[in-house]
Chain A
Amino acid sequence: MSVEAQQGIATPRIPAGLGGLLPALILIGLFFVVPVLTLLLRSVTDPAPGLQNYAALLGDGTYARVFFNTFLVAAVVTIVTVLVAFPVAWMLAIMPPALASILFGIIILSMWTNLLTRTYAWMVLLQRTGVINRALMGAGIIDQPLPLINNLTGVTIGMVYIMLPFMILPLVGTLRAIDPMTLRAAALCGASPLAAFRRILLPLSLPGIAAGGLMVFVMSLGYFVTPALLGGTSNMMLAEMIAQMIQSLLNWGLGSAAAFILLVVTMALYALQLRLVGSKRVAGGA
């Protein structure tokens, strides 16, 4: 693009190329970078200078459980999301446009519907006397209502629901970019559908799966609303713990140390994702 501009007519430069960035940089600098850095500073100064907050967080079994839980939920959610999203994205990539647009409509409707609305629906659906338990009991599949809420099952169902569009939509792009001829060639050469899937379709879509999966994992790590509403008190996740430390316990030192750990992990994984797909792809993925 820049080369074109240079070769084209000598146009006046945009009045100070950087000038347009000024409002954005002031906003982000003053109201994002400064507050976040101040918070991080607080993790080593509150209540007294030193690393005692980190020592407390990393040395305590209760907190270790929260970290473990958070990673476990994020991993389970990511795996389930990938497994469910792949076949759907596959179909979306090749199905007739009319059918695909209906499906896209459903995905966008679910994605754009208010987050609390969706979570509320799952709270009602999954409760002990909820529709799902009643249907299963009515069909004679179970005798006792399943504990579907206030535990990891509830969190996983609710989170997979929210993450699916973020996995399906980028994957469709990846799958559409694969040349169908490669698969036709495989079939002509006698490859069975399974072999073609394992050796061609899956490897070729792996970059998309990795990028999407990483995004889902990162988003799940820091998720607050759904785990707080669908999860139980015994298996809290990191974001909820941070909020609680600040809001209920007013323990700013510990809360900001936990926030810093979450930030470092998230940013490291984000950097990995950038390396995998390049900044523009990540940005376009939303």
Chain B
Amino acid sequence: MLLDYDRLGWLKVALLAFTALVAAFLLLPVVFIVLLSFGSSRWLAFPPPGWTLKWYQELFADPSWIEAALTSARIATMTAILAVAIGLLASFALVRGEFRGREILRGLLLTPMVLPVVVFAIAIYAFFLRLGLGGTTTGFVVAHTVLALPFAIIPIATALEGFDKSIEDAAIVCGASPLQAKLRITLPSIRIGIFSAAIFSFLASWDEVVVAIFMASPTLQTLPVKIWGSLRSDLTPVIAAASSLLVALTLALMIVTALLRRKLQT
């Protein structure tokens, strides 16, 4: 009966109570940070003595925050485009190609996801120092694309595996060229995978801290580097304001994803 929700009896009450606690634990920091960002206490007293928007004003008055956010957006967008393009090509080969060592190659391409980021961070930092790419947008995009590639390949390859190839073959029989068939039949069918890949690789770059800390230069900082620097000096509520905007962005992304999935699936 342990897997029957309606017949768990007292155990259900206990487990549900525990689950509710965990849900609260998961929500706590997110909700807390949003409330804190509107609190008037510079010393982060909670509950706040009053409510204010001044941290947001301070945030928007400081061009270095805006610039860091724009830099992050630029780098993450380029990363997402590159990772999806490269990942799409790779996924076709990984899913449909027949050659020896396919599993090994798949494993190799997914390794950046498993290797501790700090190892990659110092490796690419040293490498880019020699190439003169340290602290450049190109360097950032290349390093982030390496990290984002697994997050692009996994959803696209999964979608492609679930796609019945005979539909594409039928299009070819009906006179479409193989490329046409791919562009007009296959790609639209796996669009959910492509879309997920774009979101995941964007987030992989947008949220990336460790490589960014090593790569950043005084003139080129991403948002996480800016937050990291502020965190290390003091816990100003301006960080709470910036963080709350990031939470809002996450929520927006989640809603867009849910809506698009629903739309694409019907």
Interface on A for B, CB 8 Å cutoff? 1-2, 4-5, 8-9, 11-12, 14-15, 17-25, 27-28, 31-36, 38-39, 42, 84, 87-88, 90-96, 103, 105-110, 112-125, 127, 129-131, 134, 161, 164-165, 175, 178, 180, 183-184, 187, 193, 196-197, 200-201, 218, 221-225, 229, 239, 242-243, 246-247, 252, 255-256, 259, 262-263, 266-267, 270, 274, 279, 283-284, 286
A117 CA to B227 CA, complexed, in Å: 9
Q: Which of B3-49 contact A (CB under 8 A)?
A: 3-5, 11, 15-16, 18-19, 22-23, 25-30, 32-33, 36, 43-46
Structural contact, B119 and A222, CB atoms closer than 8 A: yes
A27 CA to B90 CA, complexed, in Å: 11
Residues in B neighbouring A91, C-beta threshold 8 A: 15-16, 19
B126 to chain A, nearest CB (A): 6
User: A21-B105, A121-B32 are contacts. A103–B146 as well, Cβ < 8 Å?
Assistant: no
Among B54-62, B106-114, B187-195, the stretch that binds chain A is B106-114
Structural contact, B149 and A1, CB atoms closer than 8 A: no
A193 CA to B120 CA, complexed, in Å: 48
A185 to chain B, nearest CB (A): 11
B229 to chain A, nearest CB (A): 11
A84 CA to B27 CA, complexed, in Å: 15
Structural contact, A263 and B122, CB atoms closer than 8 A: no
Chain B residue nearest in CB terms to A283: B154
A129 CA to B41 CA, complexed, in Å: 13
Structural contact, B3 and A8, CB atoms closer than 8 A: no
A201 CA to B36 CA, complexed, in Å: 42
User: A32-B112, A84-B22, A106-B23 are contacts. A125–B29 as well, Cβ < 8 Å?
Assistant: yes
Query: Can you list 30 A-B contacts with CB-CB less than 8 angstroms, sorted by A residue number?
Result: A2-B98, A9-B166, A11-B168, A11-B172, A12-B178, A14-B97, A18-B97, A18-B99, A19-B93, A24-B90, A42-B126, A105-B254, A106-B26, A107-B26, A110-B27, A112-B253, A112-B254, A120-B239, A121-B32, A124-B36, A125-B32, A161-B29, A187-B1, A201-B3, A225-B228, A246-B122, A259-B119, A266-B114, A279-B107, A286-B151
A116 CA to B209 CA, complexed, in Å: 8
Q: A88-B19, A109-B251, A114-B207 given. 11 additional CB < 8 A pairs?
A: A9-B166, A31-B142, A107-B26, A110-B27, A113-B247, A116-B207, A116-B243, A122-B29, A125-B29, A223-B116, A266-B114
Residues in A neighbouring B11, C-beta threshold 8 A: 193
- Residue among B22, B23, B95, B118 with the highest chain A CB neighbour number at 10 A: B118
- Chain B interface size band reads 35 or more
Structural contact, B86 and A113, CB atoms closer than 8 A: no
Residues in A neighbouring B89, C-beta threshold 8 A: 20-24
B222 to chain A, nearest CB (A): 11
Structural contact, A110 and B2, CB atoms closer than 8 A: no
> Any chain A CB within 8 A of the CB of B231?
yes
When the two chains form the complex, which single residue of B30, B95, B124 contacts A118, counting CB atoms closer than 8 Å? B30
Chain A residue nearest in CB terms to B107: A279
Structural contact, A117 and B33, CB atoms closer than 8 A: yes
A200 CA to B118 CA, complexed, in Å: 41
Structural contact, B28 and A123, CB atoms closer than 8 A: no
Structural contact, B95 and A35, CB atoms closer than 8 A: no
Structural contact, B92 and A14, CB atoms closer than 8 A: yes
A18 to chain B, nearest CB (A): 6
Structural contact, A109 and B30, CB atoms closer than 8 A: yes
* Chief secondary structure at chain B's binding surface: helix
Residues in A neighbouring B16, C-beta threshold 8 A: 91, 95
User: A88-B22, A110-B26 are contacts. A27–B119 as well, Cβ < 8 Å?
Assistant: no
Indicate with 1 or 0, residue by residue over B119-144, a CB within 8 angstroms of chain A CB atoms.
11111111100000000000000110
Residues in A neighbouring B143, C-beta threshold 8 A: 31
When the two chains form the complex, which single residue of B165, B213, B235 contacts A123, counting CB atoms closer than 8 Å? B235
A218 CA to B116 CA, complexed, in Å: 8
User: A109-B254, A239-B116 are contacts. A20–B127 as well, Cβ < 8 Å?
Assistant: no
> Any chain A CB within 8 A of the CB of B145?
yes
When the two chains form the complex, which single residue of B2, B26, B123 contacts A36, counting CB atoms closer than 8 Å? B123
The 7 A-B residue pairs with the shortest CB-CB distance, nearest first, are: A222-B116, A17-B97, A121-B29, A20-B93, A35-B127, A24-B90, A117-B243
Structural contact, B115 and A193, CB atoms closer than 8 A: no
User: A32-B112, A109-B30, A256-B122 are contacts. A94–B19 as well, Cβ < 8 Å?
Assistant: no
Structural contact, A17 and B98, CB atoms closer than 8 A: yes
User: A121-B32, A247-B214 are contacts. A242–B247 as well, Cβ < 8 Å?
Assistant: no
Structural contact, A121 and B118, CB atoms closer than 8 A: no
> Any chain A CB within 8 A of the CB of B73?
no
When the two chains form the complex, which single residue of A8, A20, A127, A284 contacts B90, counting CB atoms closer than 8 Å? A20
Structural contact, B115 and A36, CB atoms closer than 8 A: yes
